[in-house]
Structure 1
């Protein structure tokens, strides 16, 4: 028998109604799965029959009334539009006494009413009614009918062949009918079987259109069909959820509202479907919900303690009803509401039994652990290794929440030695997403460090935590404990510890024990890379240090123990003025941290990215990035590192004149221990400039002097990190102390390396301010050259502005205007938004590409270079006011060659004088 759609089934029943009206009695047996629309079909038929003038006698059977004998007969006659004398006569014939005395069993064939006259007279009443008008007897869910009523239906069926009667019975399609004897009896005679399947997509679309007031919405209907499998009850519930979700406007559904909303109505409809079919289907659904992705028929049967054959039947029924798809719930809401039908004790017991079954079947530890966590059982010995293995698997796939739950579940029942290992693993996992949550596990680990009972990896965890929080004593204790552990043979572990120390403190300050390094560490490539990286803090071999940083970044994987390693290497690239490389690497690691959901990694690396952006002079973007990083974690989670995003934010807001925003950032409470780290230096430097910009000169001097004192004490007097001498010199100039300012700047110039263009550029600018007017142009031109090479556009704009003012004071107004325009352009660049990220890494560090000012290699339209490299160099120097002789000396070419280059430059650019030379490529027509 083919499965019919509801429209075709209704048309067939209507034809049977016509046939029966002509005196040919008809029986139709409508079958279908759960919520396939049998009731709706029967209702539609009775409406059509009533409209055509037929008399309709209808009844709906219920599981709860299955033992109420003759209940169906009562419904048929009480609910119809019958003359009062007919209803009264039936009530006289069918009484509790006559039914009870005649009841002899559940089989309808065995039921005998006490007087055949009773059944005969009731049947006669029906036949008499059918002579006057067509009669429709409609019984829904006949499988729940009482046996006495079934006997009555059989009696009528035997006598209606030539009567104008249509009998329509609906029943659930099940492998084992509820009343097999009754079904066998009715199918002996001619009958029409109609099978209903789930609603088709077209049916669902018509249903949705009707329920939404005639508004056609095919995409919504398609989504509802996918979530319900054509279950009419669930489809109606989804439409209800959709309309309740405020997805309409002015009474009509909007065209872009195409996604179903799965909410309360859907969940309740799911439960209604399951309760209608009895406990076996609900129990099966519960087992599926408990087992989740591991809900195969064999495990479901073991969990329910029923036969595999029965499980297959139940799963088929649930699948046919649209509740399951491939043995799984179609939506999590359905799974949640089914689990909600279990009491806390029942649910715990089922999860525990599921865990045991999965463990015995050899399932993955993560699957068993999920059941154990849900059960919250009393721990047994076999459970702890499972939870530990599941935690490792969860961390490998970056599911920190599951890993933490596994470790926390196992922690209370293990012995002391294993408890320390689990505690360390738990601290590392929590640290990845919320460092403050990891704090409660640290005291036990710190105590174990003092007792010497902690393995190397966990000692390093404690050391990193102590550095994070600026606990110098705990850092020292941890470092002293390292040589007595297996770390002596683990060069990589020692490297991670040393680089973490450098990230927080810069140089090792003599506090890192010489014994930490291990046997053969000197020949280990990681140890050699670390030694070369440390050279940047000792004012030597900066190129070697940045090359080593690049190698570390290429070889290092982002992980719990490598965050500081990566950050330290990025910092060295910044100090070495490799800003493009630092930017590219930082973005790669931020993207990876975001993919892996590691909030702590994202926050720290984002603060590094903001500092790099600030170093490039893009202050608006740097402020946005610093604020974003700062808000990724609560202030108490940052430890001493809170100084990093705060200092960037203050340093970015100050030159923009956003003094209130800078002051707001400075109101954050910072730990005093921060001032013993590099972040303290950054913070003092940023706060000093804020004080200087807001005319609090003495406060600025205090911060700058404190920077200098700390850096000298730590043997970290590195101007590329914090140029405190030029900062202090600017403050002295505000007080008229020109000689002191000049001495400070000269000291900084003497210290700066030849490759540190930024420090030299800043120093020369301040030195010009401390010099006589005739000396200032040359000093400022040199400052501009260095700052152009450094890439710091904020400092470049300041130098250009001061050079413009000097030329104005000297009466060179044309040159002053050009420089002022260039300074304005650089200032605008500082306030620009984000630039497109490069899809591929910049050129490798070696050989280093020539450093030029941003955007000065090609035309803006991308048509290629306007000038040759040699012409560009000459034009740049001439535009800054250098004479031909000065250009000759700087570029080691003859004056004649300079003149030839300038002649060609004038011709190519269409200018007639040096004063008309553009100071930026954006001015080239």
Structure 2
């Protein structure tokens, strides 16, 4: 596959062949860069010459034979099908030269003359074409034969073609000077142009790809052909550089001077362009030779601007170096860079690549590089540097310095791995040798793993030397305690927090202590504005985001959480991603997005192993359990509860969240007494810890809901009213939940008023799931009061809200999604006998959807039953209700429509299994 440039050269060579055949011998020198197509051109012309009847003699110089005298001569006369007597005659002459080696030069000249005369004699019989490829690699005796011919072919029928590299300076200057002294034709092959490449592209390639191939190959025909071959292997990628390209690169390097391979390896190890001195030092050649090699590789199309044209080329060169040699090269590169005063980041990168740091100064370089990497949020790089430094360190004080950096780095990606290095830090803290965030880290790690005793000892050490912490670190440590233990426990009074940071921290947490919503929200925003990954404690960021969420600023909480997660993803900080992902899941759940909440909680849990979560494992699991419960995925919830959680977790706020979620799961699966036990435990702990704030865990409304299941109406009302009295004005969501349950525990006359207020609270709070239930319950109450139009509108709106929340997961019957007993009549009212209708649960669900206008097929898909089953259910419903069509169905079927008996107030029926409670 020849380009137009090569075809024009062939035309010139054909003309010279005709002239030489007429008795006018010609000498042609073909030069070009490495792998510029000289060999392919010579092969193509050789076929043309042989077809014309000329005698073809060819040879190729090589590095392996350039010390073997007469090696090229032997190729010329033993590979052309000459008569045996001619080959034998030349062999005898070569042997004579071998025997007389070391004799006077005239003896060698006689051998050259006699062999040359044999060739001249052959030209008298027919034209002779002598083609020598890579003449610069030919042995000395053979070169003298070529010079002999050059001086005598002018009247012979000989065409002598010699290919040579077009190098900055000739490798055989005396030969070149002698050859070019006489008449000769010089042909120089230049790199292929875009047009040349476009001519040889296969039909499957877009002609526009020629420009890309020219850029990747530098016009090197061998590399162009390799890229085309890679395209054939992967037609979907028109400019893929794959195995063929990599093999071509290595083939080029191994067929040339060894210095070129050494320089290519030096560049690949350096990973970037370098000075001639640096490259030469790494390749163990002088800078001038390194500079020359770079020029040759650039001309050959492997390099551009001092670097490989394609990453595949650099990777191929690196892969061609043995592991031990590559390690040595990286160590040598590190030493050279260190001597030149280069950045510690570059030097450390080579030690890491070598997987060893034998120099005495290496550990300091690695530690400094790790600090810089952490500052730039390159966590993985930092971990690699300090882990290698720790393996290489000998000095104990340096070991402590390295361990501090390692713990900070590992904390961002694997807290359980960081915990392995804490003993050394604890010992240093007790000796007063640990300061600032490193000192606080000991406390944080201990709290994370539920090791309160160690955290207390660390705090005592910090108290003994107050100067160990600055004001920001002290404030962050206070907030970290509050993340785990709330505002009532922790190291109060141990640090001077009379600072901007301390003031903002106190104001932010006032949302739980005093209900100062606006003040807390402003402080939370201020703290988040000032926080950056790696510079601020993770727990502080999480508290600030949750403050916005509890304060009703869910949009701002979502914005900050998403932004921080994106930053954590960019920097590879898995711990931040996981914890903030758990926070984001809770935000989604409190907005009623249960499917989204489940997905985000699962994703957060998958980012780290369970042991890395420490006691915080209960946080994402709590949200996931609430979401499973809400979606009716009780088997998944049961599996989640079977997974072990640390016992120490139950002494923290995380444990309260977990008990809260587990209680709701028990309530939804009709394990009412187990639910009551969990809710009561929440209440007892919160009161003991002086954390009895419904905004954190509304245990009273939880417990009230469970008591409704046992028909303890008065107890339920008292609990809810006590909770409402303790609510802060900012906590509209908990107020809405409380009103929902209070409405369920009261009579019909008060119910609508309570539910209307609940709807308004939940709408403002932004929880669409609880809002859908409040709307449905309000619709049911209005239906009983005979206000059918408004009731139907509310039910439809509730259905839409629920469908949005569940993303296609159909909630159970609204009017019983949380109700624990029959609708209580007002004084003087009589309860309708439910046995007069006797609809089953499935019949109720089918009838409700039909009344809302759903087709049988839509009902089938929603409830996951067959169309035939839907039709059978509707037939029985029509008969039991005494109606003729779905148009006559009521939009809501109240609990009195069930087969279950409705006892008098205070003795209501228990809810059937499968009925969910309010996930607060």
Please give the TM-score of this superposition, normalised by the length of structure 2. Answer: 0.82
Distance 2:317 2:103 in 1: 36
Name the counterpart of 2:384. 405
Does the Cα contact within 8 Å between 1:653 and 1:662 map onto a contact in 2? yes
The 3 A distance-change label for structure 1 pair 806 and 165 is same
Name the counterpart of 2:166. 173
Give 1:354 deviation, angstroms: 2.7
Distance 1:117 1:289 in 2: 50
Unaligned runs of 5+ in 1: 248-252, 834-915, 917-925
Residue 816 (1) aligns with residue 813 (2): no
- Deviation per CA, 1:603-657, whole angstroms, max 9, x where unpaired? 2112111211111112222222222222222222222222222222222232222
Report the 3-state secondary structure (helix = DSSP H, G, I; strand = E; otherwise coil) of the residue aligned with 1:355: helix
Give 1:316 deviation, angstroms: 0.7
Distance 2:456 2:544 in 1: 23
Does the Cα contact within 8 Å between 2:54 and 2:126 map onto a contact in 1? no
Does the Cα contact within 8 Å between 1:104 and 1:110 map onto a contact in 2? no
Residue 709 (1) aligns with residue 684 (2): yes
Name the counterpart of 1:26. 26
The 3 A distance-change label for structure 1 pair 10 and 689 is farther
- Deviation per CA, 1:322-343, whole angstroms, max 9, x where unpaired? 2222222234443344345555
The 3 A distance-change label for structure 1 pair 488 and 348 is closer
Distance 1:469 1:221 in 2: 60
Name the counterpart of 1:202. 195
Name the counterpart of 2:86. 89
Name the counterpart of 2:838. none
Give 1:717 deviation, angstroms: 1.4
Residue 100 (1) aligns with residue 98 (2): yes
Residue 121 (1) aligns with residue 118 (2): yes
Give 1:561 deviation, angstroms: 3.7
Distance 1:680 1:7 in 2: 82
2:223 aligned to 219, 234, 243, which one? Answer: 234
Name the counterpart of 1:606. 581
Name the counterpart of 1:281. 260
Residue 161 (1) aligns with residue 140 (2): no
Report the 3-state secondary structure (helix = DSSP H, G, I; strand = E; otherwise coil) of the residue aligned with 2:555: helix
Give 1:4 deviation, angstroms: 9.8
Give 1:569 deviation, angstroms: 0.8
The 3 A distance-change label for structure 1 pair 261 and 705 is farther
- Deviation per CA, 1:709-742, whole angstroms, max 9, x where unpaired? 2221221112122111111111111121112111
The 3 A distance-change label for structure 1 pair 178 and 357 is closer
Deviates more, 1:593-602 or 1:487-496: 487-496
Does the Cα contact within 8 Å between 1:102 and 1:112 map onto a contact in 2? no
Does the Cα contact within 8 Å between 1:127 and 1:160 map onto a contact in 2? no
Distance 1:722 1:15 in 2: 97
Residue 71 (1) aligns with residue 71 (2): yes
Name the counterpart of 1:225. 214
Does the Cα contact within 8 Å between 1:220 and 1:260 map onto a contact in 2? no
Does the Cα contact within 8 Å between 2:762 and 2:770 map onto a contact in 1? yes
Distance 1:614 1:105 in 2: 99
2:139 aligned to 123, 133, 146, which one? Answer: 146
Give 1:754 deviation, angstroms: 2.4
Does the Cα contact within 8 Å between 1:106 and 1:147 map onto a contact in 2? no
Give 1:758 deviation, angstroms: 0.9
**1:46-65 to 2 correspondence within 5 Å?**
46-65=46-65
Distance 2:287 2:728 in 1: 80
Deviates more, 1:115-124 or 1:526-535: 115-124
**1:236-635 to 2 correspondence within 5 Å?**
236-244=225-233, 247=234, 253-254=235-236, 257-263=237-243, 265-293=244-272, 295-376=274-355, 379-411=358-390, 412-487=392-467, 490-509=470-489, 511-517=490-496, 521-522=497-498, 524-559=499-534, 561-635=536-610
Give 1:795 deviation, angstroms: 0.7
Distance 2:654 2:158 in 1: 93
CA RMSD of aligned residues (A): 2.8
- Deviation per CA, 1:838-883, whole angstroms, max 9, x where unpaired? xxxxxxxxxxxxxxxxxxxxxxxxxxxxxxxxxxxxxxxxxxxxxx
Name the counterpart of 2:710. 735
The 3 A distance-change label for structure 1 pair 703 and 305 is same
Name the counterpart of 1:847. none
Give 1:535 deviation, angstroms: 1.6
Deviates more, 1:601-610 or 1:278-287: 278-287
Unaligned runs of 5+ in 2: 809-890, 892-920
1:769 aligned to 744, 747, 750, which one? Answer: 744
Distance 2:325 2:806 in 1: 62
Residue 643 (1) aligns with residue 618 (2): yes
Give 1:220 deviation, angstroms: 4.8
Name the counterpart of 1:889. none
Report the 3-state secondary structure (helix = DSSP H, G, I; strand = E; otherwise coil) of the residue aligned with 1:63: coil
Give 1:81 deviation, angstroms: 4.9
Distance 1:56 1:286 in 2: 39
Distance 2:758 2:560 in 1: 29
The 3 A distance-change label for structure 1 pair 196 and 622 is same
The 3 A distance-change label for structure 1 pair 674 and 104 is same
Deviates more, 1:342-351 or 1:227-236: 342-351
Does the Cα contact within 8 Å between 2:683 and 2:700 map onto a contact in 1? yes
Does the Cα contact within 8 Å between 2:439 and 2:468 map onto a contact in 1? no
Residue 655 (1) aligns with residue 648 (2): no
Distance 2:50 2:112 in 1: 33
Distance 1:105 1:496 in 2: 91
Give 1:344 deviation, angstroms: 4.9
2:180 aligned to 171, 184, 187, which one? Answer: 187
Distance 2:556 2:318 in 1: 52
Distance 2:111 2:729 in 1: 119
Residue 35 (1) aligns with residue 35 (2): yes
Distance 2:258 2:601 in 1: 58
Does the Cα contact within 8 Å between 2:466 and 2:495 map onto a contact in 1? no
Name the counterpart of 2:857. none
Report the 3-state secondary structure (helix = DSSP H, G, I; strand = E; otherwise coil) of the residue aligned with 2:271: helix
Does the Cα contact within 8 Å between 1:590 and 1:606 map onto a contact in 2? yes
Residue 111 (1) aligns with residue 147 (2): no
Give 1:406 deviation, angstroms: 2.3
- Deviation per CA, 1:398-428, whole angstroms, max 9, x where unpaired? 2222222322233342533332232121011
Does the Cα contact within 8 Å between 1:205 and 1:217 map onto a contact in 2? no
Name the counterpart of 2:205. 216
The 3 A distance-change label for structure 1 pair 174 and 743 is same
Report the 3-state secondary structure (helix = DSSP H, G, I; strand = E; otherwise coil) of the residue aligned with 1:187: helix
Distance 2:380 2:438 in 1: 21
Distance 2:423 2:200 in 1: 63
Residue 689 (1) aligns with residue 682 (2): no
Distance 1:158 1:76 in 2: 19
The 3 A distance-change label for structure 1 pair 281 and 488 is closer
Distance 2:444 2:200 in 1: 62
Give 1:486 deviation, angstroms: 4.9
Distance 1:708 1:323 in 2: 73
Distance 1:106 1:141 in 2: 29
The 3 A distance-change label for structure 1 pair 97 and 77 is closer
Report the 3-state secondary structure (helix = DSSP H, G, I; strand = E; otherwise coil) of the residue aligned with 1:194: strand
Please give the TM-score of this superposition, normalised by the length of structure 1. Answer: 0.82
The 3 A distance-change label for structure 1 pair 641 and 349 is same
Give 1:29 deviation, angstroms: 0.6
